[in-house]
Amino acid sequence: MNDGTPDSGGELRSADLLRDYLEGPGLDLERYDAGNGRGNLVARIEGSDPSAPSLLLMGHTDVVPANPEGWRHDPFGGELVDGEIWGRGAVDMLNLTASMAVAVKHLAAASFAPRGTLIYLACADEEALGAFGADWMLRNHRDAVWADCVLTESGGFAMPLPSSSGPKLPVIVGEKGAYWSTLRVHGTPGHASMPLRTDNALVKAAEVVRRVAEYRPATTLDGVWRAFIERYDLPPELAARLGDADGVRAFCESYEDLGVARELHAVTHTTFAPTMARGGVKTNVIPDVVELQVDIRTLPGVRGPEVGAMLDEALGDLAPSVEVVADSDDPANASPFDTPLWDSLQRASRALVPNATLVPLTSTGATDARFFRALGATAYGAGLFSERISYAEYGAMFHGNDERVDLESLRLSSELWRAVATDLLA
Ligand SMILES: [Zn+2]
């Protein structure tokens, strides 16, 4: 389990397990030791035509910690209960990492001899910064993992929105950026026994938190959003509502399905979430400084200066007494979706789910796809799930309690990888 420290993770154990599983004719296997027990496994089926597009199936092997107290089954037991596998990582993303391994093994066993190269990467450290995983591989062993097309977590889970035609399956084509910031609120120290008219940094910080939380940044309906609305084939009234900035805002403020409302809001807005506060030294001292952490997730085109302007707007007359320090500046990224990879994914999905149509969607969080997009690859978050687990439950399981996946979803995802690889590379 990866708690963000270099000595956690232990992903070499997963790399070894996957190597043992994949070992056999038709696959070139190589384990890459990144130190500290961290490491990655690469499996390759070389293509016959170097000019043909190549495909990387990329899954991470690390998971975030879990507190067993909130779970109905042991989060590290991997129990199969009534057709569902329980445990941390069941949807984020050991389900996909494992189903990719199954697909690659089956292709190799069937003597798959593609024109384009197929690569499987089981990588460490996605849940922190990729410093031992995808980013590390691209920096140190780029030739082993580089591909024109990349599939990773996570899509193919039908949203509970009405559609006039068949099932709509989201594919992640881009990710929002992260501009995590510290807001340092200054005051003047003094004796807390005489608080009247003091310059108390904590009191000011409380108002800063309130203003940031209530801030409503402008709505942005980008190309991914427009294509999502169009291809979803929504009832006309809803399509008109979601195709309009004021309509989207009103919809998200009032729609009863909280998961959908939050997600649709997050993909159409740069968001600001105050998450941590630290300040004060002693009960009887008026604090002179309080630090607030704000998780800021940016839309494409929104960088430091734009975030600064938004914070100024949010803080109003308090802006001059707040110092903003950027802790991370990972810009948003996106791949086009008029590509051969998209077409292969569409054909493969429809063969498994009758009448299914893919719809592009932006991810609110980051995945390892960002490292490959930054270097010019087309990267999507994909997958395929049964209808057994609801969208609300599915969303709540990421880094949450009672994470599990049903066997039919595992079958669908492994069939999907196999079909896309055959369609794109053969
Ligand atoms: Zn993940």
What residue ranges define each of the domains in the chain, with the CATH number in brackets?
Answer: 12-161+333-425 (3.40.630.10), 177-326 (3.30.70.360)
Question: What's the 395 CA to ligand 1 centre distance in angstroms?
Answer: 12
Separation of alpha carbons 269 and 396, rounded Å:
21
CA of 63 to the centre of ligand 1 (A): 8
Give 329-338 pLDDT, tens digit per residue. 999 999 999 9
| Interatomic CA distance for residues 415 and 347, integer angstroms | 12
| Backbone φ and ψ of 37, nearest 5° | 75, 5
Catalytic residues: 62, 126
pTM for this predicted structure: 0.94
Q: How confident is the model at residue 238 (pLDDT cuts 50, 70, 90)?
A: very high
Q: How far apart are alpha carbons 342 and 378 in whole angstroms?
A: 9
Distance 59 CA to ligand 1 centre (A): 8
If you measure from the C-alpha of residue 93 to the centroid of ligand 1, how many angstroms do you get, rounded to a whole number?
5
- Give residue 137's pLDDT: 98
- Does the structure show a pLDDT above 90 at 404? yes
**pLDDT confidence of 158, banded at 50, 70, 90?**
confident
Mean pLDDT of 34-58: 97
- Give the Å distances, CA to CA, from 331 to 14, 132, 177, 221: 31, 21, 4, 18
The rounded Å distance from CA 58 to ligand 1 centre is 11
